[in-house]
Structure 1
Amino acid sequence: MKDAIILSLGGSLIYPKEIDVDYLKKIRKMILKFVDSGKRFGIVCGGGSSCRYYIKKANEVVAMERIQNDRIGIATTWANAQLVRELFDDIAYEDVVKNYSKKIKTDKPIIIGAGWEPGCSTDKDAVLLGKMFNAGTIINLTNVDYVYDKDPLNNKDAKPIEKATWKEFKKIVGGEWKAGMNLPFDPVAAALAEKEGIKVIILNGHDLDNLEKCLAGKDFVGTVIS
């Protein structure tokens, strides 16, 4: 898996309110095109609205501790990742990766990962997978075009940021992670990426034409953090 492209595939893209079949068909087709040209992918899947739904309902039954919320959220990523793994079948590594402390050896061009330990989102797992395969860049696919100086969904005057240092980014997202948080890249993952010298690109995963430009090394719309 040398020179693999590492994608952090936000659960909001896989499972916004229900499984987005049309989106999965399109991104599968695009990834297969790049695989045919010799590219290799590590794709780590988030939980999306299913994560927040399960956490919400569990807490309606009984108040959960933070670690319990994390464990519920992690389990939802396993389901999403297994779904995505089966979409690629025989060209994907046979298991969904759930432990990033073990070196993976495979000649398959695609590896699918999910959540591992409590205390962070799958963004951190994408960084761990990138570290495993010496990837210098993580592409984080989310549901907004850029990182903004404040939440663009609630603030019409939010300003897009095309480039940011890790220090600047951490001022925006803070330093604490809570299960179910909806951030462009989680604070724990940000700290690890900075430590490992990994660049992170954040872009809107819905815009597959833009993602294709990014993968092809062309100009794209998004935020680069380094």
Structure 2
Amino acid sequence: MGEQGFGIDPAIVTSVATDAAEVVAGGTQLAIVVGGGNIFRGLKGSAAGMDRATADYVGMLATVMNAITLQDALERAGVPTRVQTAIDMQEIAEPYIRRRAIRHLEKGRIVIFGAGCGNPFFTTDTTAALRAAEINADVIFKATKVDGVYDKDPTQYSDATLYGTLTFHEVLSGELKVMDSTAIALCKDNNIPILVFNLFGPGNIKKAVAGDLIGTRISLVK
């Protein structure tokens, strides 16, 4: 949503699509899990009195809106793209099928996973960890609004310290707000490293894929 308080900022979508297109042009297979907090957040809906499961389903639908918006931007950037959703929406997207997703990646297409994992009470972080394990991903990139993982909220504390590396155990035991604990545990059990970095730095997606020293790397051992 960029600097807006709500919705989709076309400039941000185009920027993300341009960076992702450069990565795929270099031969990297890329799958994307999108959230929907710019449109609707299930936990907030629940806090406002909605049934939690209903609120989460509304949130899943919001992720599909973001997914097809990003698909449009990617294809305008010249990248063949497929959206797969955990909730059937055959008029606008494919259903999630693991082998089909892998085949799309092998053919150089970006696969965007929408609608979370199809179940309430699970976040898109958990979806990212689950899909990464299913498609045998080498790494998860957690693209966010800050430069990585800090010891405290950098938006509130000017003396917050950025971690360069962390172990899964440190994240879980320290209750660091990186991804939810289910997602971290899934990555730990399947030995999938995570790189947390700032999505909005120019070319940061490409830098992350290239292994440049940006953000915070989380793995089994430092």
TM range (shorter): 0.7 to 0.9
The one-letter code matched in structure 2 to 1:96 is Q
Q: Which of 170, 176, 198 is equivalent to 2:172? A: 170
TM-score normalised according to structure 1 size: 0.77
The one-letter code matched in structure 2 to 1:223 is T
Distance 1:163 1:55, change over 3 A: closer
TM-score normalised according to structure 2 size: 0.79
Cα contact 1:82–1:96 (8 A) shared by 2? no
Q: Which of 36, 45, 54 is equivalent to 2:34? A: 45
Cα deviations across residues 31-90 of structure 1 (Å, max 9, x unaligned)? 2223223222101101123223x7646765xx2233233222222111111211222347
| 1:103 corresponding residue in structure 2 | 99
Distance 1:187 1:100, change over 3 A: farther
Q: Which of 184, 194, 200 is equivalent to 2:194? A: 200
Tell me the secondary structure at the aligned position of residue 220 of structure 1.
Answer: coil
| 1:224 corresponding residue in structure 2 | 217
Cα contact 1:120–1:186 (8 A) shared by 2? no
| 2:132 corresponding residue in structure 1 | 130
Cα contact 1:30–1:212 (8 A) shared by 2? yes
- What displacement does 1:14 show? 10
- What displacement does 1:196 show? 0.8
The one-letter code matched in structure 2 to 1:215 is V
| 2:91 corresponding residue in structure 1 | none
Greater mean alpha carbon deviation, residues 97-106 or residues 23-32: 97-106
- What displacement does 1:15 show? 7.7
| Aligned equivalents of 1:13, 1:43: Cα separation in 2 | 19
| Aligned equivalents of 1:34, 1:16: Cα separation in 2 | 29
| Aligned equivalents of 1:43, 1:168: Cα separation in 2 | 26
The number of equivalent residue pairs is 202
Tell me the secondary structure at the aligned position of residue 160 of structure 1.
Answer: coil
Residue ranges of structure 2 left out of the alignment (5+ in a row): 87-94
Aligned-residue sequence identity (percent) comes to: 29
Q: Which of 162, 171, 181 is equivalent to 1:187? A: 181
Cα deviations across residues 72-117 of structure 1 (Å, max 9, x unaligned)? 2222111111211222347112x43327674323335210012122
- Bigger RCO of structures 1 and 2 (CA < 8 A, at least 6 apart): 1
Residue ranges of structure 1 left out of the alignment (5+ in a row): 1-11, 175-182
> RMSD in angstroms over aligned alpha carbons?
2.6
- What displacement does 1:173 show? 3.4
Distance 1:149 1:112, change over 3 A: same
